[in-house]
């Protein structure tokens, strides 16, 4: 396998090849995602929701993110592994942001970090990038700020927020980020941003005019059937498939069908 690098992602944008990105939080899932040829694996702080059952991404800790990330890194041969800096591990000051990033890189073996925000975290981004750690930005609906927004609806529909987002995207490019995630913003705005900067824009709920797409792996597998945003395309119905398997196993145990003669020693 030829490994995906931050440079190959920028080259993919230049050559017009779309970037496919999915989340993973554990070894078994990451192995399948990597083998399928997904370019980037995000160890997202969505682990807080999907793995731990919290309502928001805020409670997950740096230690927990490192545990998830190191499990993912052990599984991959090709994909670039990007890890979210969790809420509270980078907002207080640039030194803390760098220390948290260094811990992720050293203790998990991941290849890059992702931080939510634009100009308000400029000094932190500079420090991390100066240390040689690749950074992916994240603008638009940034879930760590959900209590500021008060709603999970589309961001940057108004002119002022759209202008701020465009200027933040240009800032991330100028500082040296290798890519930026745009979450839940109008497709027209996302396309404009992607066309205005040279680094790849990876969208989630940001339309088809960007340079790549990302989804939460449990969502696209249909395991989270109570979560139904418009942007989510489900590629299978694992919730039903798994339920069927568990029910069959239960029935087989209860009826003494399992284990059969050739399934014992
Ligand atoms: O944590 C996450 O899964 C993310 C993606 C939705 C971009 O940040
Ligand atoms: Na995230």
Concatenated DSSP letters of 62-86? HHHHHHHHHHHHTT-SSSEEEEEPP
Clarify whether residues 100 and 149 are in a common domain. Answer: yes
Candidates 213, 149, 214, 154; CA nearest to 189 is: 154
Average pLDDT rounded to a whole number, residues 239-245: 98
Q: Domain range holding 181?
A: 6-234
Instruction: Choose the catalytic residue: 96, 123, 161, 183.
Output: 183
At residue 120, the pLDDT reads 96
Residue 232 pLDDT class (50, 70, 90 cuts): very high
Average pLDDT rounded to a whole number, residues 58-66: 98
In a domain, residue 216? The reply is yes
Residue 154 pLDDT class (50, 70, 90 cuts): very high
Clarify whether residues 243 and 206 are in a common domain. Answer: no
Which residue, by CA, sits nearest to atom 8 of ligand 1?
Answer: 44
Q: What's the total number of domains in the chain? A: 2
- 35, 75 in Cβ contact below 8 A? no
Clarify whether residues 35 and 12 are in a common domain. Answer: yes
At residue 243, the pLDDT reads 98
CB 65 less than 6 A from any atom of ligand 1: no
Clarify whether residues 183 and 258 are in a common domain. Answer: no
Clarify whether residues 143 and 257 are in a common domain. Answer: no
In a domain, residue 1? The reply is no
Distance CA 1, CA 238 (A): 29
Query: Is 45 flagged in the annotation as binding?
Result: yes
CB 214 less than 6 A from any atom of ligand 1: yes
Percent of the chain with pLDDT over 90: 99
Residue 168 pLDDT class (50, 70, 90 cuts): very high
Indicate whether this model's pTM tops 0.90. Answer: yes
Clarify whether residues 102 and 124 are in a common domain. Answer: yes
CB 46 less than 6 A from any atom of ligand 1: yes
Q: Is 120 a catalytic residue?
A: no
CA–centroid distance, 146 to ligand 1, in Å, is: 13
DSSP 8-class letter at 180: E
Whether 1 has a pLDDT exceeding 90, the answer reads no
């Amino acid at each position: 396998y030829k490994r995906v690098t931050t440079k190959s992602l920028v080259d993919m944008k230049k050559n017009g090849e779309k970037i496919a990105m999915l989340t993973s939080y554990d070894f078994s899932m990451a192995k399948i995602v990597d083998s399928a040829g997904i370019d980037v694996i995000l160890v997202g702080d969505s682990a807080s929701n999907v793995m731990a059952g919290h309502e928001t991404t805020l409670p997950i800790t740096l230690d927990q993110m490192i545990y998830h990330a190191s499990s993912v890194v052990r599984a991959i041969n090709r994909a670039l592994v990007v890890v979210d800096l969790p809420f509270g591990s980078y907002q207080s000051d640039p030194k803390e942001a760098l220390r948290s990033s260094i811990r992720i890189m050293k203790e998990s073996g991941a290849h890059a970090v992702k931080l939510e925000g634009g100009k308000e975290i400029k000094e932190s981004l500079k420090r991390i990038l100066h240390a040689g750690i690749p950074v992916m930005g994240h603008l638009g609906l940034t879930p760590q700020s959900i209590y500021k927004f008060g709603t999970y609806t589309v961001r940057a529909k108004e002119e002022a927020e759209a202008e701020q987002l465009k200027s933040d995207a240009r800032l991330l490019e100028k500082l040296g980020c290798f890519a930026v995630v745009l979450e839940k913003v109008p497709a027209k705005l996302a396309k404009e941003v992607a066309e205005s900067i040279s680094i790849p824009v990876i969208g989630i709920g940001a339309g088809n005019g960007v340079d790549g797409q990302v989804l939460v792996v449990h969502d696209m597998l249909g395991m989270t059937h109570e979560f139904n945003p418009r942007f989510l395309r489900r590629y299978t119905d694992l919730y039903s498939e798994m339920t069927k398997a568990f029910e069959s196993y239960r029935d087989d145990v209860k009826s003494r069908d399992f284990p059969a003669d050739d399934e014992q020693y």
